Amino acid sequence: MSVVIYHNPRCSKSRATLALLRERGVEPEIIEYLKTPPSESELDRILIMLDKEPEDLMRKSEADFKAHIRGKSLSRAQAIALMVNYPIVIERPIVINGAHAAIGRPPENVLQII
């Protein structure tokens, strides 16, 4: 099974999670999600794997969240579409291993799916 990390190289938690995976002998496929955001269907699948709603995966301190999302009553599909359009609001890093996903906050969270 291949492991995928939705990664932001500027994020210390994302870098630490990637390093932890590599220390465990896992060389994941790295997707820099700010350059290549997940599709709406992929993000929906990730949310299902995480057992989370879109709001649970949003970084509410980001300027794009405040400008485009905060205070709006959104359907699941609308929230996912906005997350794809403004990927900086997606919590990171997200690691996927088969049908399992985990958020690397703290980085050790991903060990449960490896």
Active site residues: 11
Residue 96: how many CA atoms within 13 Å on its side-chain side?
A: 18
Residue (of 69, 113, 73) closest to 90 by Cα position: 69
Q: Which amino acid is at 51?
A: D
Query: In this structure, how many other beta carbons lie within 10 angstroms of the beta carbon of residue 96?
Result: 24
Owner of token pair 């995480």: 50
CA pair distance 15, 58, nearest whole angstrom: 19
β-strand partners of 7? 32
